[in-house]
């Protein structure tokens, strides 16, 4: 499923992210606390990451003095977070001067969701041809909505609203689409949030988890580009110690995004690597440490236990770490994604989601069902393989794309 590292990273250069929505808090307070916490780590929890014959860990990447160092010295020089992120104490504000979202990603989102929406709107249109709204039609509509992965709860919200507005009357496909978009927006609105970074933690640790091939490494590259483009000092940790290609792929992303990287030998213990990466990030005064993990199926108990251990080890270094646990979900997956979230959430304490591959033949309905059930924040969506193909999640855009409303 995965392509080569070269394929994945493409040819475009990393770009600074100009969108300005929030400033960060003073970052000078966290370092001392982390220093104390690190002494409490149990020796049994730190597997040997130092290997004989080869340096077990390497730190590559930007050595240049980043603006982030200045951040530690003065709150006035705090980095300005890019669009889609928020600092812990200041929510992003609507910025009239911010550039409007590019049409291109929106078109890709709509194209990705076109199969879901055109199939659904086609079926809805034929359902309501010359029929007044009655119980049987409402039941048929509910079935269609459930088949589109929207989930029973949202399907019922849509049919209930339609029924209260139009029962016994003529109904057009457009009526249904409008109500559908409105109800989906109500479900997604509360979960469409910026990714909040608490930069008093130095580093703020982001752990990225998910099933194989869901886009973890690519998403990390895209996040690193946004953060380092905004002047933050970023370190990546190649915690997917199973696949050499995954480590190489992350190194390429580190180079492209001017991030530091900590990696280990193939087969090294992932929790040990996470521990070492945290220490390195603290030494180098990184603002953000993003830890990649090996893809794993949610039903593989041994691999899930390894993930639990990574979380435990980080928690000994800083009781609040990992501060953010992101799960990537592949939008081409259907119902299985619900179970993926359930289990990763229990094991790794997932705090937010990123749905990738919405530019493909996506089945976006499942995100609605997941949001209704888990109410986890959805921070970004992936709309391509390129470095800038990560967009903040917007409930209304997404709802309209599924309902086949609005134009590109």
List contacts with ligand GTP (CB under 6 A): 2-3, 8, 210, 212-218, 240, 246, 295, 328, 356-357, 359-360, 382-385, 389
Quick one: which of 401, 364, 354 has its CA closest to 181?
Answer: 401
Q: How far apart are CA 343 and CA 337, in angstroms?
A: 10
Closest CA to 180 of 201, 165, 190: 165
* 7 is annotated as contributing to ligand binding: no
355 vs 337: CA distance, rounded Å: 10
**Least distance in angstroms from the C-beta of 152 to ligand GTP:** 28
CA dist., res. 373 & res. 47, Å (int): 37
**Bridging pattern class, strands 80-81 and 22-23:** antiparallel
Nearer to ligand GTP, 161 or 332 (CB): 332
Cβ distance to ligand GTP smaller for residue 226 or 357: 357
Q: What are phi and psi of 115, to 5 degrees?
A: -65, -50
Does 404 count as an annotated binding residue? no
Using the Cα atoms of residue 346, residue 347, residue 351 and residue 355 in order, give the sign of their dihedral.
negative
Residue 4 assigned to a binding site: no
293 is in an annotated binding site: yes
Closer CB to ligand GTP, 181 or 329, in the complex? 329
- The answer to whether the annotation marks 210 as part of a ligand binding site is yes
Per the annotation, does 161 bind a ligand? no
Q: Using CB atoms within 10 A of its CB, is residue 406 exposed (0-12), middle (13-18) or buried (19+)?
A: middle
Q: Measuring CA to CA, which residue among 90, 99, 149, 30 is closest to residue 388?
A: 99
Instruction: For ligand GTP, give the closer residue by CB, 108 or 193.
Output: 108
Q: Is 211 annotated as a binding residue?
A: yes
256 labelled ligand-binding: no
Tokens representing 32 are: 């001392």
3-class SS of residue 263: strand
Closest to ligand GTP by CB, 385 or 394:
385
Residue 27 CB, nearest approach to ligand GTP (Å): 29
Check whether 346 is labelled as a binding-site residue. Answer: no
* Cβ-proximal residue to ligand GTP, closest one: 295
Cβ proximity to ligand GTP, 383 vs 401, nearer residue: 383
What burial letters (b/e) apply to 189-228, b meaning 16+ CB within 10 Å? Answer: eebbbbbbbbbbbbbbbbbbbbbeebbbbbbbbbbbbbbb
For residue 224, the minimal CB distance to ligand GTP (Å) is: 13
228/328 with CB nearer ligand GTP: 328
Q: Which is nearer to ligand GTP, 23 or 332 (CB)?
A: 332
Minimal distance, residue 404 CB to ligand GTP, in Å: 21
Q: Residue 356 Cβ, how far from ligand GTP at the closest point, in Å? A: 4
SS3 at position 381? strand
Q: Let me know the angle formed at the C-alpha of 97 by 94 and 98, rounded to the nearest 5 degrees.
A: 65
Say if residue 214 carries a ligand binding annotation: yes
For residues 232 and 207, give the distance between their C-alpha atoms in angstroms, rounded to a whole number: 17
- In whole angstroms, the minimum distance from the beta carbon of 220 to ligand GTP comes to 8
Supply the minimum distance, in Å, between the C-beta of residue 260 and ligand GTP. Answer: 19
Verify cis geometry, omega within 30 degrees of 0, for the bond prior to 376: no
Q: Is 294 annotated as a binding residue?
A: yes
Minimum CB–partner distance for residue 128 and ligand GTP (Å):
34
Positions at the binding site for GTP: 210-217, 292-296, 356-359
Positions at the binding site: 210-217, 292-296, 356-359
């Amino acid at each position: 499923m995965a392509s080569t590292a070269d394929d994945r990273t493409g040819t475009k250069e990393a770009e600074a992210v100009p969108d300005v929505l929030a400033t960060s808090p003073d970052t000078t307070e966290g370092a001392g606390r982390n220093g104390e916490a690190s002494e409490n780590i149990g020796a049994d929890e730190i597997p040997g990451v130092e290997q004989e014959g080869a340096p077990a860990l390497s730190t590559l990447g930007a050595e240049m003095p980043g603006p982030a160092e200045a951040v530690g010295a003065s709150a006035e020089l705090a980095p300005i977070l890019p669009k889609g992120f928020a600092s812990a104490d200041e929510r992003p504000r609507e910025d009239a001067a911010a550039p409007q979202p590019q049409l291109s990603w929106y078109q890709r989102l709509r194209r990705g969701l076109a199969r879901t929406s055109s199939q659904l709107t086609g079926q809805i249109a034929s359902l309501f041809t010359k029929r007044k709204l009655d119980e049987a039609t409402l039941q048929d509509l509910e079935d269609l909505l459930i088949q589109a992965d929207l989930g029973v709860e949202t399907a019922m919200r849509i049919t209930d609203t339609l029924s209260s507005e139009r029962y016994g009357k003529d109904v057009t496909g457009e009526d249904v689409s409008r109500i559908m978009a409105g109800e989906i927006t109500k479900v997604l609105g509360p979960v469409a949030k910026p990714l909040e970074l608490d930069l008093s933690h130095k580093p703020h640790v982001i752990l990225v988890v998910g099933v194989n091939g869901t886009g973890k490494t690519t998403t990390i590259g895209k996040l690193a580009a946004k953060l380092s483009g905004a002047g933050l000092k970023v370190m990546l940790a190649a915690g997917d110690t199973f696949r050499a290609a995954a480590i190489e792929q992350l190194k390429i992303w580190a180079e492209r995004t001017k991030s530091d990287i900590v990696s280990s030998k193939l087969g090294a213990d992932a929790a040990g690597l996470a521990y070492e990466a945290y220490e390195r990030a603290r030494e180098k005064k990184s603002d953000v440490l993003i830890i990649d993990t090996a893809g794993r199926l949610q039903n593989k108990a041994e691999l899930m236990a390894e993930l639990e251990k990574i979380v435990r080890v980080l928690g000994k270094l800083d009781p609040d770490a990992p501060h953010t646990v992101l799960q990537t979900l592949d939008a081409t997956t259907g119902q299985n994604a619900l179970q993926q979230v359930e289990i990763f959430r229990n094991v790794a304490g997932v705090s937010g989601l990123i749905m990738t591959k919405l530019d493909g033949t996506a089945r976006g309905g499942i995100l609605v069902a997941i949001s209704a059930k888990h109410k986890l924040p959805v921070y970004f969506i992936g709309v391509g393989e390129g470095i800038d193909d990560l967009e903040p999640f917007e409930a209304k855009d997404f709802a309209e794309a599924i309902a086949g409303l609005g134009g590109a």
